[in-house]
Amino acid sequence: MANGRIRIRLVLAILVVLLTSSSRGVGVFWITSDSQAQPHGWLIEPTAPTDVDVIQFSGPTPTYANACQAEQTLGGRPTLRIYPDRREVQLTFEPPATEDCTDSPEPVFGLKGSFGPLEPGQWRFYSSRFGMQFYREFEVEDVPEPAVYYVDPTATGRNDGSNWANAFTRLQNALAVAGPGCEIRMARGMYQPDWEPLYYAGDRNAAFHVARGVVLKGGYAGRSWPNPNQRDVIAHETVLSGDLERNDALLGSLRHMLTDKSRLDNSYHVVIIEGADSTTVLDGLTITGGVAAGPHDEEKLSCGGGILNENGSPIIRDCLIIGNAAMEHGAGIHNHGRSAPVVADCTITGNWSQWGGGGIYNGWGAELTVTGCIVSGNGVESRGAGLYCHTDGRLKVSNCIISGNTALESTGGRGGALFGLSALMDVTYCTLVGNRAAGGSSLACDTVGGSGGQIVVSSSILWDEGQEVIDCGAVQPEIKYCNVWGGWPGEGNIATDPCFVQMGYWDDGTTPKDADDDTWFDGDYHLLWGSPCLEGGDPMLIPDANATDFDGNPRLSGAVVDMGIYEVYNEPPVVTMGPWVTGFTLDGKSGTLTLDASESYDPEGLTLAYQWYLDGAPVSRDSVFTTTLPLGEHPFELVVSDSAGVPTWVEGVSEILEPVETMATVTPDPITNRRTIAPLTVSALLPEGYRASDFARSEKLLLYPGEIESDRQLAFGWVGGRVRVMGKFDRAKFFEVAPTYGEVPVRMIGRLNDGSFFDGRGTVTLK
């Protein structure tokens, strides 16, 4: 299993970026041995690029000891030249090549990079240099750019949305003119829906209506920043708020959201989407403050405080849906009608519904896909605090954290995480933790009108530490290859501590008997190495090549998928050994050096084993060892393997050097063998051309005879532009090893940052 878990990584050393046109995204990268992914042929992706795509390429080269050697062999650094007039992309090697190879320890066997976007038309990508001969033709298609409108509340221009300077200051103005194929880009700030031309100030019916085919994107810096197009949905939060008076108070309980006076003037819905298809997108928005608590005879106004989706199939991605409420269903998102939206990479938290679906509600016959989301800290009185799927509805949930959701009703609360009523539900690769309900903290279900529905949960972790699944009578859920607190019958199920990195927890607010004011704090649900959930998922689930886990890593890391949201990878050991290790000779023939990899570690904390090779022969299994070698260079290899057998390989060169001779003086001179704590001070001039910063301060000076290490040392400027290095040594230790009284030759050896050594020579008289 371990060997199948080696992550395929491309460790790419960027060498050069050269632009000869207006194209963006141009770069060339070496593929090194650490990547474990040697390319077999030249590839261009995507195979049918458009004029808005950055095109990726990769391909093999002859294998070289390092990038430096490759450059020296091929004539220079890899460079892309783009010739728009000829529609050619040429890979060449431009001098000068890198001369200093000491910082390039890893073998290279390929190149990878990117170029583009390019103008539409027929192009060719080629190289004709030695082992780099290849030729590829490809066509770039023309994709019309969508109309873009800009919205920024700080704009002071024409208010026509044409650019950031002239951006609309109100989102409603942009929505009024945007049609299918249009994109609205929103700058940071808070936007409320009660503005003309549709509404009056304080109108609770005010909502942002997003039409079919409109893309609404938040997270832009806006005109007040040096780069207004900079996009970061966290740093430049874009908030769509139903808090029309901007007076919402902080509450100690979610259930008070429907009755608190500060929220009785909020919009019923923040966003309404009707009749949309997948070209309608909400991207990078915070949606908050919707309170769907309308008159009892208008059910529509009692559902979907955050987003009300009717008969539409939009894409909702990278959004934060927080602090919304509904008298009936779906405080965060309410989906119903002939619809099939996709909710991806969103966080739905802190929402409250009186009846069901605190986070998300999927209505009669509707379809909904939820993937890569966090559904946490939502609440209901009755059913489905996290997600609720109604009669004949289809709900697919994958790669999601569903945690800390609560159905508060003390006896009738059902489905802290999930509730299905005669529904079709498919839950895969999810982690359910800390959810609460009187019945079914993870999952509850029921039937209506004789329709049983079907619920399948697989390759997931249900660890709410309560009654995980309530007996659903006629519609027994199929739970398989899951880790279920307390156990559940089903193929491949276990009931063992999943070994999370950190478990989430509830803070009872110092009122243990009152769950109403409890607060959930999420944990870290990565699995520790050795978790029983590793390769415990459904063996029949074979993810496609593009399937990923919650972190975006490949979903399949071993022979079988893991349970829960994360796949566990046995990362190779991290080796701290440098590529070039030097020692020095005192006799001009041989010297000793120490190879030290003791600071290497394994990311999973597994035990490490070492194997050193010098000149191709195995020499030691210790993390640190010292050896004697003749003057000159000696190639070494080090293989560090963890206890699961996953290795990291390092190659380098060790060298015994002749130190550069220089002059040294000893103080005091002469010296006597009397009891004293006064040190022996030796100073030497560095060879000409070296600066004080070139002295390796972290390396101890050595005094011979005796190989005595310095107690203190420093380097400083001296007359004539030279540098003097001074070391203080234990006088008693020197007398212990001194060969005789009288005049004694001494040598002080020091290391320079380039790996070489200096040899300060002098004499001292012993009395």
Q: Are 310 and 372 part of one and the same domain?
A: yes
Full residue range of the structural domain in which residue 15 is found: 3-140
pLDDT, position 106: 76
Amino acid occupying residue 545: A
> Whose structure tokens read 């060449």?
92
Query: Per-residue pLDDT tens for 361-384?
Result: 999 989 999 999 999 999 999 999
Residue ending a domain, choose from 508, 527, 546: 527
Residues 451 and 311 in one domain: yes
Domain boundary among 596, 625, 657: 657
Do both 683 and 621 map to the same domain? Answer: no
- 633 and 678 co-located in one domain: no
153 found inside a domain? no
For residues 680 and 644, membership in a common domain is answered with: no
Q: What average pLDDT does this structure show over 643-649?
A: 88
Question: pLDDT tens, 305-337?
Answer: 999 999 999 999 999 999 999 999 999 999 999
148 falls within a domain: no
129 belongs to a structural domain: yes
552 is a domain residue: no
Q: What's the CA gap between 150 and 216, in Å, rounded?
A: 10
Is a pLDDT exceeding 90 seen at residue 270? yes
Is residue 514 over pLDDT 70?
Answer: yes
- Dump pLDDT digits (tens) for 82-100: 999 999 999 888 888 777 7
Q: Are residues 685 and 644 in the same domain?
A: no
Average pLDDT over residues 57-82: 85
Considering the domain boundaries, does residue 641 fall inside one? yes
Q: Are residues 379 and 448 in the same domain?
A: yes
Higher per-residue pLDDT: 173 or 449: 173
Assign residue 649 the CATH number of its domain. Answer: 2.60.40.10
Q: State the SS3 of 702-767.
A: EEECCCEECCEEEEEECHHHCEEEEEEECHHHHHHHCCCCEEEEEEEEEEECCCCEEEEEEEEEEC
Choose the final residue of a domain: 657, 677, 704: 657
Do 595 and 480 fall into the same domain? Answer: no
Residues 652 and 758 occupy one common structural domain = no
Amino acid at 213: G
* CATH number of the domain to which 761 belongs: 2.60.40
Q: What is the CATH number of the domain that holds 484?
A: 2.160.20
Output the six-digit token pair for 657.
Answer: 């050097």
Q: How many CA atoms lie within 13 A of 279 on its CB side?
A: 11
As a whole number, mean pLDDT of residues 389-399 equals 95
The answer as to whether 359 is a domain residue is: yes
**Strand order from edge to edge, sheet including 394-398:** 147-151, 182-187, 215-220, 281-283, 315-317, 342-344, 367-371, 394-398, 424-428, 454-458, 478-480
Residues 625 and 702 in one domain: no
- 528: which 2 tokens? 């520790």
Identify the pLDDT of residue 6: 29
CB 353 within 8 A of CB 361: yes
pLDDT, position 14? 26
Helix (H, G, I), strand (E, B) or coil at 73: helix
**What ranges make up the beta strands (E) of 226-336?**
238-241, 271-274, 281-283, 286-288, 291-292, 307-310, 315-317, 320-322, 325-326, 333-336
Residues 370, 373: Cα–Cα separation, whole Å: 7
Is the pLDDT higher at 471 or at 44? 44
| 592-613: pLDDT as tens digits | 999 999 999 998 888 999 999 9
490 part of a folded domain: yes
pLDDT at 104 over 70: no
Least Cα distance to 386 among 403, 365, 408, 411 occurs for 403
C-alpha Rg value of the chain to the nearest Å: 34
Residue 20, pLDDT > 70, answer no
Number of domains in the chain: 4
Same domain, 670 and 653: no
The CB-side HSE value for 509 (13 A sphere, CA atoms) comes to 11
What is the reported pLDDT for 428? 98
Contact 311, 337 (CB under 8 A): yes
Helices (H), 95-184: 171-177
Query: In the predicted model, is pLDDT for residue 50 greater than 90?
Result: no
514 and 376 in a single domain? The answer is: yes
Q: Is residue 189 part of a domain?
A: no
